[in-house]
């Protein structure tokens, strides 16, 4: 795909207001042009689709930059935001793009796996996080709570892997019943700032 800013005929230095104005102008132009007969209409429809993709990419990148700026350049702040918005594919893409994979990377990878209900994979990532930073209480607490979640499921934890979850609806139903009904544990795994010994009593 072309540079999204080039599709709008502008640059990365252009203000968001100018970008949005140009986007709306081109959208109106291509939106009307797609109803023309023959090749002209086809080309206008293609450009409209290209424009929409470019605008989405521009918005996404600028939003990510703002979040990272507010967090002092912390890439994981944006990953955290995506997870909270249940945009797990986008959060995964952000993690995949990172070349340095230390404790915090494994921690957020474990959360994505947990949200996808892949408990075995989530546990492996938390174990990797603890191994990277043995003194990090956040990682250790998360691992302890995940072990409680896994232990509460009345099935062999080895059957809670990606493939099994995808192929056996009975295990999916049982697993959802076991750990999603225990909302406190689910909350505590991804919101480790709270004292879960109190909210779970």
Q: Which CB contacts under 8 angstroms, 24+ apart, belong to 151-159? A: 152/178, 152/179, 152/182, 152/185, 153/119, 153/178, 153/179, 154/178, 157/119, 157/120, 157/123, 158/120
Instruction: Find the radius of gyration of the CA atoms of the chain.
Output: 22
User: pLDDT (tens digit, 9 = 90+) per residue, 57-113?
Assistant: 999 888 878 877 766 667 898 899 889 989 999 899 999 999 999 999 999 999 999
62 and 12 in contact (C-beta within 8 Å)? no
pLDDT at 149: 86
Count of all residues that appear for the chain in the document = 201
Question: CA–CA separation, 10 vs 5, rounded Å?
Answer: 5
pLDDT at 181: 41
pLDDT at 51: 96
pLDDT at 103: 95
Which one is predicted more confidently, 102 or 193?
A: 102
- Closest to 107 measured CA to CA, from 127, 91, 77, 87: 127
User: pLDDT (tens digit, 9 = 90+) per residue, 10-59?
Assistant: 999 999 999 999 999 999 999 999 999 999 999 999 999 999 999 999 99
118 and 165 in contact (C-beta within 8 Å)? yes
What domains, with CATH codes, occur in the chain?
A: 1-71 (1.10.287), 74-201 (no CATH)
Predicted confidence (pLDDT) at residue 158 exceeds the cutoff of 60: no
Question: CA–CA separation, 31 vs 47, rounded Å?
Answer: 9
Question: CA–CA separation, 118 vs 126, rounded Å?
Answer: 13
Predicted confidence (pLDDT) at residue 161 exceeds the cutoff of 70: no
pLDDT band at 151 (very low <50, low <70, confident <90, very high): confident
Angle formed at CA 137 by CA 196 and CA 85, multiple of 5 degrees: 60
- Global model pTM greater than 0.85: no
- Closest to 56 measured CA to CA, from 1, 4, 2: 4
């Amino acid at each position: 795909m072309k540079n999204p800013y080039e599709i709008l005929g502008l640059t990365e230095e252009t203000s968001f207001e100018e970008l949005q104005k140009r986007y709306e102008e081109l959208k109106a132009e291509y939106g009307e042009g797609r109803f023309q007969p023959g090749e002209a209409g086809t080309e206008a429809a293609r450009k409209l689709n290209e424009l929409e993709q470019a605008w989405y990419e521009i918005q996404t990148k600028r939003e990510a930059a703002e979040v990272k700026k507010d967090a002092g350049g912390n890439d994981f702040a944006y990953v955290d935001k995506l997870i909270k918005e249940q945009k797990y594919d986008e959060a995964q893409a952000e993690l995949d793009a990172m070349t340095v994979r230390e404790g915090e990377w494994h921690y957020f990878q474990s959360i994505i796996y947990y949200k996808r209900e892949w408990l075995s994979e989530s546990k492996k990532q938390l174990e990797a996080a603890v191994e990277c930073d043995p003194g990090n209480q956040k990682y250790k607490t998360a691992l302890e709570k995940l072990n409680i979640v896994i232990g509460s499921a009345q099935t062999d934890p080895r059957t809670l892997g990606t493939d099994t979850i995808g192929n056996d609806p009975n295990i999916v139903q049982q697993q959802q019943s076991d750990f999603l009904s225990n909302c406190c544990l689910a909350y505590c795994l991804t919101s480790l700032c709270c004292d879960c010994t109190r909210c779970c009593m």
